Structure 1
Amino acid sequence: MMNEELDDNEFFQQDFTTASEWEIFNARLEEIFHEWKLSYGGALGSQEPLGRNQLSVCEWIVVKEKIKFADVELDVVWVKADVPEEDTAVKEEDSVDCQAFVDLMANGNDYCIVDQMGDGKLHPLAQWYGLREFVVVVPVKKSITNESQIRILMSSIHIAVSESSCDVPVFVQVLDKVQNVFLGVCESGSTRLSFDIVHLNVTPPTCKYLSGLLDVFKGKVGVPYMDPVAVSVRFSYSLSKFLSASYVVPKKVPFSNNGGEEHVDDKNISLPFGVAIDPVSELILHCTWPHVADNVVIDSQTYSDFDPLTAPAWSLRARYEDTPVCFMSDCIQEFLQISESRRAITEFFPELAFGATQNLEGTKALERLTESKIPTLASVLPGMASAGTKQDHIKLEGPLNNDLLKDMLYYLFPDAQKDALHEYQIPGQVEFDPLKIKSAHPDSLVHRLGTLMAVCNSYYGGKRAVAQLWAEFSQEMRYRVERCIQIPG
């Protein structure tokens, strides 16, 4: 017989080693779980039990990996609470449950304090189930609303969890993101736990009470359950309209003896403190019954044992306005804005210009240094001395009237008044602190001057009032320095 050579190209050869997109997706999920060390008992319940409300106050570790399935881009997010772990080693003969199962049965974090009005850092899964560690598969752009896609994705999650021996609960976010619908699974040994969420447009009448919810729960168990069911109940009452009971503080401006503002005690001079409108936007009262057996309480359409007045635990929570109107903060912020102003004081008071003050007595420094030491007649006679004491003082016309300006200067220089109301408290030996080298001591001259300038800027005429006070203060300081008069404070 003639041996005929056969061409291999004439036969169809199928490559069975080629992996489909679904298999590649499953393999990548398993690889991510292994990289994060979530496999082979990595989440056994050997950690410290969670404290009361610990999940809402602790820091969270978030790790993300991008993965693509078909034309859908997904984020695989590992969320873990940063809580201290127990150092004691687990013996081989000890029976240790899955950490997720332990956290689910603990009731210390049943009602975590979380701000639902804002973007709180506590994940909804941690708030609902009390989990300290879990994985979430989240779509990056479009939400997953197709039922077939949801089933394929959930089957991939089941396969990846089973093949990698992952003990950490894994969830998939489906439907619209604002609905917070998560489907998940957790496997440990021979036990599988499925997580599901149902959204109802209208709540059935039987599910509005504990008796109906218990019937649904016992029906889902599927086996006779003789032991009582432990439930936790919380009633929340919100109050957002306070009407006449709203908290408003009257504005107390220093040296305001008339007008709409309330008069302030002359001995207590400080920046206005308080709020213009009530900073509390909402008060929430929680009445809680923690860990109650279902056979000792009745809650149905006709009768209920859950009276808020008999609740064993009450808690009150307040939500505040994002930007409350506070007197002191507004006053300081306005004063900080003018601190960077480059406008000269002569723009507000032209009479303080150099040409207008060059003939004053205090501006001739050489004559001051070379003047005769023999006292003049004006300095000897009391009447003439008092008349010529401050002949170089310039009278400024500004928003501060004479009485108000006099009270402020007496506050800065109390030694100029016979019966001083604002004496400086002379401190003892103060230890030098280089960290406070640019700060003023409490109730010192600089401290009082800064307080008055901030008050003048906000309530007595703005920048022009600040310039007027500064000009009067500067002239008083020059007068005291030239005549060697002690500067208080």
Structure 2
Amino acid sequence: SQDPSLPEFKDFTTATEWEKFIASLEQLIEEWRLPNIVSTGPLANVSTGALGGGEWKSRSETVSFASFRMMVTRHYLEGSTKERSEEDQAKEALEETEEYQESLPFAMDDLLSFTNDFPAKAHFLVRWYGIRDFLLITPDMGDDTISTVDRQKMLLGSVCTALRNTNCQLPFFIQMHHPQEKIACGVMCAQGFHCYFNMVKLVHTPKGYDTLNGLLTLFKNKLCNSSFYTHLPVDVSIRFTYMLDDWSFFDLNSIPSHSLDVDQVIKFGDLPMGAGVEPISEFRLMVSWPHLAEDVVNDSIAHSDLVPANAPEWCVTIKYVSGPYCYLENYLGEFETVLSKNESLDLVLGSMLSDDIDPELANVMDRLAEPKVRVPDLAASIMPSDTREKRRRLTDDEILIKFMNYIFIPSIDQETVLSSSGHIDFGDISTALGSQSAEKLEEADEVEKFKEKLRALKTSSKNSIVWRLSLALIEAYHTCGGIEGLALLWVKVVGELRHHFERGYIISSIEPGAPNLGMCLLHQKIQMLNCCIETRNARELRESRKQKKKVPIDRMANCHFKMPPQSENPTEGENSSSDEDFFECSDSTSTSEPVGDDKSEGTPIQSPDDFKTLDDAPLSAEGRSKPFGALKLLSTDEQMWVPVCQQPSPMTEDMLQEQADAILKLASDPECSKMTARLQSASLFSDMESFKAANPGCQLADFVRWFSPRDWTEPIRDEKGEIVKAGELSQRMTIPGNMWQDLWEQARPAPTTRQKRLFDDTKEGEKILHELITMSLSDIANLLFPCIIQCGLEKICESVHKGPRDMIPFMEHLIEKTKQELRMRRPNYKDLIRRMYEAEIGIARAESLRQKLFRKEEPEETESSLKRYLAMKAQESSTVSVEELVLDLLDKPEVEIRGGAKSAVGRAITKLFENAQKAKLEDTTLSTKSRRLPASQQFPTPIGKEFILRTKYPRPSNNSRTGAHRIYAVITGNEFRLAGAFTEDMLFY
């Protein structure tokens, strides 16, 4: 222990927290190699406007002052600075020993540069001081800020010490108060100069200091307190900002709300589009006077030469309304909520009771194939009671008839649009753009590609019944009672489809043949229903021929199933009437689609009882189509005939998925392997029976030679033509227990007229109708949305040339995204609507700007015809330049107007502000509105004034070296801010 008699020892060599902080700053500066940073040249050589349009980068690190953590960040313009090489360092060291450099540090050159004044988008320190590379230290402890003068001076002294010890020439700033205040102080130490950066922010503007003359007096008084300052030359840059944010004076001709009218019900395809509110919140004009001598312009309280019409530089910018209401997004977005509604139709329509229901439709479910399935009570689903609100206008007979006519009775122009290929074909956009510029024509060529891309979407043919049904149902949802209107119209449509099915009327406006798996599911189901109707009509026609009866012409007028061919190759013993009894499915039905059903009616393996009226084999051939080349039967050496076969049952994608799931489930159970084989071999078994009927005495090898030639090896003959090796079946056909052999043994000779139908049109039709009528609201919406999305995309594509320049690549990406989503089981419709909303907003903004800037003024009646003609030509010539301005405003933060007020664009902008000023005048007579305002009254009071004053002057004495000095002043409303940079020579006082 220490002897208490000895004096207490204090170690004064221990580093303090202040010294540790300075050491950490120095270490950070050395690690980042900041002392070796030099400029690549003046900012003017980099590029004009580089501070606002260049690429800025940053790098951050955390330092601590005791327990107070701070973040040091370096902000620098890419390409404007570089790191010195060792050779440059040695050369500069030699020059410094011989003679001290007279050039200023590059940061001081930036303070005096006028090529990058008022950058469009930059850090607030960059805008106020025009520097390209600097350091900023900010508190990193939440709400704690540097708000006291003591903290400010301590940090500023620490920074100054670190900069001098490391010979770093970059400006170093300290964030003061809250970051939203944008207040900072800083220092730069380079080549014996100290440049101090300070700011002043007031909530009011001192009298006289909102003019250039007042600021010049303030600036010169700061530099020197003597009469000599009156002869100090000062360079000036000025910018005034004018704003329009009230468009009440302007007739926007906005799109009216999409409301239902009795006379406009049939206009379902015209989806609403556009902004419901003004999408442009502010239109700002910035006029500038760059690099002026102070004695060139006079701006005082009494008089000002700063008139916008005389400004050499004009820039404009716009601000948008955040998330404006748009019609198409609202139209689709509200319907998207139906996807989450799992209510059934009977639950939605259960309260709508009426005695006027069609009895045939009321008992529609009693005729379903599965009576045990619970069906909705639709007894009151067609007409509501008189107590229901009148807003459900779908209950009006006139409105309902218009809906049903639009869905089921296509107009002439709709029929012409529906092509056999089933693809979309909307207007020729290039024709509409024929009078535009070359750039617009190139864009029109790009737009033409959208037609090809939209055809690949998994939806439906434009103006098909599915297309019209989707548009009619979403219209009923929006204008006829919401989900009740949707459910009511859906029930009525299903009732009409049943009427077509039971009466044998072909459903028009849809491609013939089997379901097209490239279309949406609703399209496939209606195609499937048409197949059922066509099959039954063909069957009844054959029966009527037998019975010498006629079938109504209107039922077969649109039948796309081919009639059985007449006997083309009559032979001895062939039944000439067998072809008339032939049951034939659609030629477009795919032969590769699997068929099967676990019901007894669809079982391909027939029991012997099914042939109790037949002998073991027919005495004569039946169901022959044509000879199969020159092949002979192996056992009888007779001609081999191609049989008339049943085609596999057409199937929709959900039916295929259901069958695949059933097969997969049965395959996992060994005991169900026979049932699985039956599901997959129904068509094969039918073909075997038809082949036996057409070729009496045939063998399995004969059938394989016709059905699967690859499983048969032809006999090998020698040079004399004698058979050396007989033909034989492949190995897979001779394996014991082979399914083909089992089916061949069970198959009996039976033409298609005596076989069980592979495609039961009655059962399949009832199954589809039952599925449609028992759907929930969400299932209905899922069926409708593909066509609705495509219709919305088509609406946008019609106006894609009116949007920003990046609208075409954006729409290409959106269509590809939609193509992928619609092929998924659960498409993300919310994301697609959001992306369509972005395109809708872009087009709405562009159209709003065009309406404001393209407004043409009618010449006065007193003017001569020649003057009116010349005025019209001048307006036409300015159209292209104004269009370029609109597109630039949508792409850039600021757009420079070349020529200022004298250009065509400048005249359009001046007219826009002048119209706003006229609307504010108290005297709004016709004569006041028509006459031109003087130049001093064409624009309102500027909302912002910016002044930059800069000079070179020796401080602190006349014997000091000349340093750079700069002051930036901004006056906005009641806020007054000064940001000054003043240099002192620390070597020569």
Q: Same fold (TM over 0.5)?
A: yes
Superposition deviation, residue 465 in structure 1: 1.7
Q: Which amino acid aligns with 2:417?
A: Y
Structure 2 CA distance, aligned partners of 1:444 and 1:486?
8
Per-residue CA distance 1:226-253 (angstroms, 9 max, x = gap): 7853322111223333335364624253
Question: Residues 21-420 of structure 1 correspond to what in structure 2 (within 5 A)?
Answer: 21-41=17-37, 45=41, 51=47, 53=49, 55-56=51-52, 60-81=56-77, 83=78, 92=88, 98=105, 100-113=107-120, 122-139=122-139, 140=141, 141-222=143-224, 228-245=233-250, 247=252, 249-253=254-258, 256-257=261-262, 269-350=269-350, 356-359=363-366, 363=368, 396-397=382-383, 399=392, 400=394, 401-415=396-410, 417=411, 419=412
Q: Which amino acid aligns with 1:455?
A: E
Structure 2 CA distance, aligned partners of 1:13 and 1:170?
40
Q: Residues 422 and 347 (structure 1 numbering): CA distance in 2 closer, same or farther, change over 3 Å?
A: farther
Q: Which residue of 1 aligns with 2:510?
A: 488
**TM norm structure 1:** 0.73
Structure 2 residue matching 1:319: 3-state secondary structure = strand
* Unaligned runs of at least 5 residues, structure 1: 1-6, 115-121, 366-392
Count matched residues.
Answer: 439
Structure 1 CA distance, aligned partners of 2:304 and 2:419?
68
Structure 1 CA distance, aligned partners of 2:334 and 2:120?
36
Superposition deviation, residue 157 in structure 1: 0.9
For residue 475 of structure 2, the aligned residue among 455, 458, 470 is 455
Percent of matched pairs sharing the same residue: 26
Q: Residues 427 and 77 (structure 1 numbering): CA distance in 2 closer, same or farther, change over 3 Å?
A: farther
Q: Which residue of 1 aligns with 2:487?
A: 467
CA contact (8 A) 1:282 1:319 kept: yes
Superposition deviation, residue 18 in structure 1: 1.4
Structure 2 CA distance, aligned partners of 1:221 and 1:427?
85
Q: Residues 275 and 432 (structure 1 numbering): CA distance in 2 closer, same or farther, change over 3 Å?
A: closer
Superposition deviation, residue 186 in structure 1: 2.5
Q: Residues 429 and 89 (structure 1 numbering): CA distance in 2 closer, same or farther, change over 3 Å?
A: farther
Q: Which amino acid aligns with 2:133?
A: E
Structure 2 residue matching 1:78: 3-state secondary structure = strand
Per-residue CA distance 1:32-53 (angstroms, 9 max, x = gap): 2233332322555488955555
Per-residue CA distance 1:252-303 (angstroms, 9 max, x = gap): 5375247xxxx69x66832222333333333333222223232321212222
Q: Residues 105 and 442 (structure 1 numbering): CA distance in 2 closer, same or farther, change over 3 Å?
A: farther
Q: Residues 244 and 209 (structure 1 numbering): CA distance in 2 closer, same or farther, change over 3 Å?
A: closer
Structure 2 CA distance, aligned partners of 1:358 and 1:239?
64
Superposition deviation, residue 137 in structure 1: 1.4
Q: Residues 184 and 256 (structure 1 numbering): CA distance in 2 closer, same or farther, change over 3 Å?
A: same
Structure 1 CA distance, aligned partners of 2:508 and 2:203?
80
CA contact (8 A) 2:49 2:116 kept: yes
Q: Quote the RMSD (CA, aligned, Å).
A: 4.3
CA contact (8 A) 2:417 2:462 kept: no
Per-residue CA distance 1:62-121 (angstroms, 9 max, x = gap): 44333332453322233345x45699999948999755445444445422335xxxxxxx
Give the helix-richer structure, 1 or 2: 2
Q: Which amino acid aligns with 2:118?
A: Y
Q: Which residue of 1 aligns with 2:577?
A: none
Q: Which amino acid aligns with 2:195?
A: L
Per-residue CA distance 1:116-160 (angstroms, 9 max, x = gap): xxxxxx432123223343221122332223222211111011111
Q: Which residue of 2 aligns with 1:368?
A: none
Pair member with larger Rg: 2
* Unaligned runs of at least 5 residues, structure 2: 93-100, 351-356, 371-378, 385-391, 424-450, 512-989
Structure 1 CA distance, aligned partners of 2:125 and 2:137?
13
CA contact (8 A) 1:297 1:305 kept: yes
Superposition deviation, residue 443 in structure 1: 5.7
Q: Which amino acid aligns with 1:204?
A: P
Structure 1 CA distance, aligned partners of 2:152 and 2:137?
12
